[in-house]
Amino acid sequence: MPEVIFPGPEGRLEGRFSPGPRPRAPVAMILHPHPQGGGTMNNAIVLALYKTFVKRGFATLRFNFRGVGKSQGVFDNGIGELSDAASALDWVQSIHPEAEVTWIAGFSFGAWIGMQLLMRRPEARGFISIAPPANMYDFSFLAPCPASGIIIQGEADEVVTPSATQKLVDKLRTQRHITIEHKTIPGANHFFANEMPQLMKEVDDYLDFRLAPGCPIR
């Protein structure tokens, strides 16, 4: 799990990168929760997502947004963080230019940034959004959402209201040519403090389905 430093829009960005085991390995990038709420690339959910993509043979990057850890710059309310994410994906793709598939995963604030990145990167074929903060940020930019993916919510989330997430899911499901999976973890709070195994089972079941050779979703 080598530490990497790569150029971002406001200076250096710090990450952890696991190269792909083959030249055309798929690429995955994991985005962390809100920097001002203590979010970093070492968040437990970010780490678990990172490990599951590495295990599946993806070239996988998690990194700190500007102003977090060794990453330079200051918090920019999501605008600069989206630029950070775009630079990070550029960096991974410079190492794996022949990657056939790109996935973007994010937790909370990171899910919001990740879904914005989807709109800019047509090569992204799938996403995992955990507790996307649909009651705090505007998700209307997903018009239309360009890729299929899964949204996972805690039933007892005290930060992101399940009803706001349901509304987002319902809206996305009216769009053609994509399939949105939605799972709610019973009893889970925003951080899935006691439900990490259930959370990661949903992630792994979905990836098993999407990455299977005969999957109807492309």
pLDDT tens profile 142-198: 999 999 999 999 999 999 999 999 999 999 999 999 999 999 999 999 999 999 999
User: How does strand 59-63 pair with strand 11-18?
Assistant: antiparallel
Q: Please check whether residue 62 lies inside any domain of the structure.
A: yes
Phi, psi (deg, nearest 5) at residue 106: -155, 155
pLDDT tens profile 68-108: 999 999 999 999 999 999 999 999 999 999 998 999 999 99
User: What residues make up the domain containing 147?
Assistant: 3-211
CATH number of 41's domain: 3.40.50.1820
Q: Please check whether residue 207 lies inside any domain of the structure.
A: yes
Q: Please check whether residue 217 lies inside any domain of the structure.
A: no
Spatial distance between the Cα atoms of 138 and 29, rounded to a whole number of angstroms: 22
3-state secondary structure of 169: helix
Global pTM reads 0.98
Q: How many structural domains is the chain composed of? A: 1
Handedness of CA 139, 178, 94, 22 (dihedral sign): positive
What is the separation of C-alpha 45 from the centre of its chain, rounded to a whole number of angstroms? 10
Provide the residue type at 216 as one letter: P
Spatial distance between the Cα atoms of 53 and 19, rounded to a whole number of angstroms: 11
